[in-house]
Amino acid sequence: MGWAFWPTLADIRARPSLLLRPLALRRVFFTHVWAVFGKGMDQGEKKVKAELVTPHAVGVVLEIGAGHGHTAHYLDRAKVTRYVPLEPNPRFHAHIREHAREAGFVEADGSLLILCNGAEDISGITHILGPSSVDTLLSIHSFCSVPNPKSTIRALVHDVLKPGGQLLSYEHIEGRTRSVRFAQAVLNPIWTMFFDGCNIGRPIFDWLRAADDWESSEEWGVEELDPDTLFDRRAGRFVRRT
């Protein structure tokens, strides 16, 4: 992790007060981590993102934890009226603007609105967008890091998503076997520290299923993954009742 440690050390030298703000320091470190990993992860997951996002995302799309905004390239501009990336790390916002612009979304015409809120800030999100105003909630490897995930997911569905709206999610999840889940639990405290709060063993799809009395839902795994992987992944589409 030297490629992230040394730039972070330079940031600390420039702003020693970071040592007194653990959350800010964690985000600075992850900024350098994602500069290395972000593009490669997107390229490696093109197929599943194209199948999940492109045919389904419509209207106002709120993306939880947008990162660098790579997902903008999977949005069909003819069907998506507004892209709202939710990203609490302001160091990522310039990257979001760049990718969104390449995909046809810009702030000047209102088709792009970048929010610095965390996903748990439901009142802040609804204050800006209005209650139950989002057509598509989108999360790509993001529910792993939101605080109070079970209640946050439920609040996003009930207070932010429109009746008849949909939630699209692609996440790494808890392991399939007891031994894998044990290994995830051992690794998780260190992983969380270095990857900005990411938890590698959350039962995210259990929480998604329980978040609402969905009108319809479908889920699928990534079949080529080793069943003993620490990073099992799953995708799904959940549609609210009107």
Domain segments of the chain: what residues?
Answer: 45-239
Handedness of CA 128, 130, 136, 141 (dihedral sign): positive
Side-chain-facing half-sphere of 45: CA atoms under 13 Å: 24
Phi, psi of 221 (to 5 degrees): -95, 175
Predicted pLDDT at 168: 99
Handedness of CA 146, 150, 151, 152 (dihedral sign): positive
Predicted pLDDT at 193: 85
- pLDDT by residue for the chain (242 residues), tens only, comes to 666 677 767 767 888 786 778 877 778 788 777 777 778 888 889 999 999 999 999 999 999 999 999 999 999 999 999 999 999 999 999 999 999 999 999 999 999 999 999 999 999 999 999 999 999 999 999 999 999 999 999 999 999 999 999 999 999 999 999 999 999 999 999 898 888 889 999 999 999 999 999 999 999 988 777 888 999 999 999 999 99
Predicted pLDDT at 7: 73
181, 20 Cβ separation under 8 angstroms: no
Terminal CA-to-CA distance of the chain, rounded, Å? Answer: 48
172, 233 Cβ separation under 8 angstroms: yes
Predicted pLDDT at 228: 87
Beta strands in 57-160 (DSSP E): 59-64, 80-86, 134-140
Hey, what CATH class is 45-239 in? alpha beta
Beta bridge partners of 140: 170
User: In whole angstroms, how far apart are CA 199 and each of 41, 79, 149, 186, 192?
Assistant: 17, 33, 11, 11, 6
Predicted pLDDT at 4: 66
